[in-house]
Amino acid sequence: MNKVLGIIAEYNPFHKGHLHHLQKAKQLVEPDYTIAVMSGNFTQRGEPAIIDKWARTQMALKNGIDLVIELPALYASQTAELFSAGAIQLLHMTGLVTHIAFGSEHNNLDELDMAARVLAEEPAEYRVLLRSYLNKGLSYPFARMRAMQEYFSCANWVKTISSELIESIFRGSNSILALEYLKALKRLESPIKPVIIPRLGASYNSPSLEGEFSSATAIRSAILSGKSWDSVAATLPIPSLEILKETISKGWGPVSIHSFDQMLLGLLRRSSTEEISNWMDVEEGLENRIKKHALESVNIEDFLNKVKTKRYTYTRFQRILIHALLGIKTQDISYYQEKGGPRYLRILGFNTRSIPLLSCLKKRAGLPIITKPSHYYRYGDKDLCTMFQYDVLAGDLYALALPNPENRMGGREFNQGLVMIQS
């Protein structure tokens, strides 16, 4: 086995943009196998996935992924930095992945790499600049950009990047993720080679359905608003469309943050400001703001619109809600980051052609491999157990948001087998 390609994705749902990305990456890398690290039932924006992780695994496998590994819930609904760190650590710990492919608005790898190096190494001068911009009241992403601009304008590097270039990198949500992937690779001193896949045109990020390459956001919002399948069919590969239709027809979806209205608002109203202040990402003073708006809102969307500020975004509060739901505190994640990140490789599914890959993985992986979740405690590893219990809880709570009341039983984590696709 010479080359194994790694992809980081949410496939929420798997659309033609994802397929294009996968095909391009395969053309460039010519891998023997492709492994995806995928978020489970909650995503990076702090939302529940439109359909559960098993249905999305099926989509991934039917569209050309060979093996799907779950990004633990503790890492899935986090900032770009932690999300990327967790995902890259997993791919690295497979011991097999040789290349990782990602999209980026800014597609000059050398330039991205220079910026990522500063983030990874945090030279003293850069740290001083960053602190001074934060002290001036700039938000973290903005302070980081300014500090880097100033750092490069003074640095005596052989090559440098202009302020305009840096601004253009930090403007794209995908290039920010790309920076974080590169940074995580550097910190691990990983031999994995990054490959950039040029993004398709601007329409790809549009919130409304636009032809074949629509954004996942646009596709989800069409499905959630009850639009006909015809209106989204063009944007989805056939297997995706079939799986979505099947899953939704049986009341296993669609799920949105709205499906959690009662649970989340109830949790916010029941929690004291002291409890709220312990949830991850709740900075000093935000607990009062959260408490106030939880009382003054009639649903979660209403809450998010009222609670957000220029500095603290809608998405940030949405992630806080997921932390609240799963009981994630700042110290939980710092504990694991100090220990090197995720504690296990949880296989969600694979296709039959990748059976040799699986046996290689068993030999080479640097982490325990979970294929039978009900045996998770057998590793006798407390850290593994604690981390895995967040995944279990995520599933048990996600179940309560399913449209069909008969599907709301918990414990699916232990009853649902691996997804296996014949190929």
Within residues 391-420, the interface with its own copies by CB under 8 A covers 393, 396-397, 400-401, 405-411
Contact 94, 61 (CB under 8 A): no
Among 265, 320, 348, 360, binds its own copies (CB under 8 A): 265
Within residues 41-80, the interface with its own copies by CB under 8 A covers none
| Identity of the residue numbered 169 | I
Q: Which is nearer to its own copies, 35 or 76 (CB)?
A: 76
| Identity of the residue numbered 337 | Q
116 binds its own copies, rule: CB under 8 A:
no
Among 224, 267, 358, 369, binds its own copies (CB under 8 A): 267
# chain residues binding its own copies, by CB under 8 A: 29
Among 325, 347, 361, 370, binds its own copies (CB under 8 A): 325
Q: Which stretch binds its own copies (CB under 8 A): 150-158, 164-172, 207-215, 261-269?
A: 261-269
CB of 418 to its own copies, least distance (A): 21
Among 159, 270, 310, 363, binds its own copies (CB under 8 A): 270
> What is the distance between the alpha carbons of residues 299 and 257, in angstroms, rounded to a whole number?
10
CB of 202 to its own copies, least distance (A): 36
CB of 297 to its own copies, least distance (A): 7
Q: Which stretch binds its own copies (CB under 8 A): 47-55, 99-107, 265-273, 365-373?
A: 265-273
Q: Which stretch binds its own copies (CB under 8 A): 66-74, 156-164, 218-226, 267-275?
A: 267-275
Q: Which is nearer to its own copies, 14 or 390 (CB)?
A: 390
- How many residues belong to the chain? 423
Within residues 224-243, the interface with its own copies by CB under 8 A covers none
CB of 143 to its own copies, least distance (A): 35
Q: Which stretch binds its own copies (CB under 8 A): 19-27, 189-197, 237-245, 390-398?
A: 390-398
Q: Which is nearer to its own copies, 181 or 260 (CB)?
A: 260
Q: What angle do CA 102, 104, 108 make, to 5 degrees?
A: 105
CB of 402 to its own copies, least distance (A): 9
CB of 371 to its own copies, least distance (A): 22
CB of 405 to its own copies, least distance (A): 6
Q: Which is nearer to its own copies, 3 or 408 (CB)?
A: 408
Q: What angle do CA 269, 272, 277 make, to 5 degrees?
A: 110
Within residues 290-309, the interface with its own copies by CB under 8 A covers 294-299
CB of 387 to its own copies, least distance (A): 16
List of residues contacting its own copies (CB under 8 A): 260-263, 265-267, 269-270, 294-299, 325, 327, 393, 396-397, 400-401, 405-411
